[in-house]
């Protein structure tokens, strides 16, 4: 019996989407867990300019 390998991926932002795009046509069972933490990129700019919590942290 050939079962597809199960893969769990934790991440967020651009890196996760690029990785998932590369794996979506492979014979694997993927679970993606999207984190709400960020490195302050565009969310950090929104936080600073609008004086709001980073949108990814809400």
In a domain, 15, yes or no: yes
In a domain, 36, yes or no: yes
Q: What is the pLDDT of residues 1-57, one digit of tens each?
A: 679 999 999 887 778 888 999 998 999 999 998 876 656 667 777 778 888 776 665
By the 10 Å C-beta count (0-12 exposed, 13-18 middle, 19+ buried), 3 is classed as exposed
In a domain, 44, yes or no: yes
In a domain, 25, yes or no: yes
CA distance 46 to 43: 5
Q: What is the pLDDT of residue 47?
A: 78
Rounded to 10 degrees, what is the CA torsion of 22, 23, 24, 27? 140
37: containing domain: 6-57
Q: What is the pLDDT of residue 13?
A: 73
Structurally, how many domains does the chain consist of? 1
- For the entire predicted model, the pTM comes to 0.54
Q: What is the pLDDT of residue 29?
A: 95
CA distance 44 to 51: 10
Longest Cα–Cα distance of the chain, Å, equals: 56
């Amino acid at each position: 019996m050939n079962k597809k390998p199960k893969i769990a991926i934790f991440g967020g932002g651009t890196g996760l989407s690029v990785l998932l795009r590369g794996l979506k046509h492979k014979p694997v069972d993927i679970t993606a867990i999207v984190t709400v933490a960020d490195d302050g990129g565009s969310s950090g700019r929104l936080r600073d300019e609008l004086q709001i919590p980073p949108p990814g942290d809400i």
